Amino acid sequence: MDMPIDMQHQQMGYDRTATMFTPEGHLLQVEYAEKAVRLGSSSIGMVCSDGVFIISDKRNEDQLVVPGSASKIYEIDNHLFSSIAGIVSDARVLIDKAQILAQQHRITYDGPIEIETIVKEICNVKQQFSQYGGARPFGVSLMIGGIYNGKPQLYTSYVTGNYFEYYANAIGENDERIKEKLKEKYKRDITIKKGVKLALDIFKEIKGNKFNIKHFQLFYLKKDGEEIQKLESSQIENIK
């Protein structure tokens, strides 16, 4: 009986380093890292007519854990924030780097950093860890939303070091199913309030009886707002 291609590659050692290509042109360690991302909790982000938001499933069911310590969305600067999917400890390193870059930019230029600049720097680090021996790729994707010069923006940084700007996107568990729903129902003129309702409806449909609003957190920033708004659990349904 013929052995599956993946097993052949493993036995031949193509997955023992992040720098070795298979004959088909794959980096198996990078693909394994992408699988780790899809095991992570889900986040949905949308660019709306009045701002931008990211809502995330913290997926924390341990009653002994303090709820506020299980965050999946982080503030990078007062004009941008990021959700994560994958290995949280990997994400923490990248979030710390992004926060430092934002602070350095404010000190140097006395103004907010461009969102794409932050995303590009994070992706440069990710790409390096898929190129050099003795290190593994970061097993995490970041979705970064914010407002720069009055324009709401949403980016996603992938394991490979690639990134794209989106009107709406999802990362983590069931990301492909969620994106199919977004393609059907997302409209560019949607407001944050209606967008959050749409995101929650999608989560309810996909998670079924496992859906629990207490496991979710929401960060949003309006065009005319000065501060990022952060809501937890039942507060989300009362968004104004």
Q: Sign of dihedral through CA atoms 46, 52, 53, 54?
A: positive
6 falls within a domain: no
Residue 2, pLDDT above cutoff 60: no
16 falls within a domain: no
Q: Sign of dihedral through CA atoms 62, 197, 153, 170?
A: positive
CA distance 232 to 220: 12
Residues 57, 73 contacting (CB under 8 angstroms): no
Cα angle at 39 between 36 and 45, to 5 degrees? 105
Maximum CA extent, the chain: 66
Look at residue 22 in the predicted model and tell me its pLDDT. 83
Look at residue 16 in the predicted model and tell me its pLDDT. 77
Neighbours of 143 (CB within 10 A): 25
pLDDT in tens, 14-66: 777 777 888 888 888 889 999 999 999 999 999 999 999 999 998 877 778 77
Residue 240, pLDDT above cutoff 70: no
Residue 8, pLDDT above cutoff 70: no
Residues 47, 187 contacting (CB under 8 angstroms): no
156 falls within a domain: yes
Residue 13, pLDDT above cutoff 90: no
Residue 115, pLDDT above cutoff 80: yes
Q: How many distinct structural domains can be found in the chain?
A: 1
How many angstroms from the chain centroid is the CA of residue 165? 12
5 falls within a domain: no
Residues 164, 133 contacting (CB under 8 angstroms): no
Mean model confidence pLDDT for the chain: 90
More confident residue, 58 or 94: 94
For residue 90, the domain's CATH number is 3.60.20.10
In degrees and rounded to multiples of 5, residue 56 shows phi and psi of -135, 145
More confident residue, 9 or 144: 144
12 falls within a domain: no
Look at residue 6 in the predicted model and tell me its pLDDT. 62
pLDDT in tens, 179-228: 999 999 999 999 999 999 999 999 999 999 989 898 899 999 999 888 99
Residues 101, 113 contacting (CB under 8 angstroms): yes
CA distance 96 to 112: 17
Look at residue 1 in the predicted model and tell me its pLDDT. 43
Domain that holds residue 225: 26-238
188 falls within a domain: yes
9 falls within a domain: no
pTM to 2 decimal places: 0.91
Residues with Cβ within 8 Å of 231's Cβ and at least 6 positions away in sequence, in order, are 217, 218, 219, 220, 239
Residues 40, 85 contacting (CB under 8 angstroms): yes
Look at residue 5 in the predicted model and tell me its pLDDT. 61
206 falls within a domain: yes
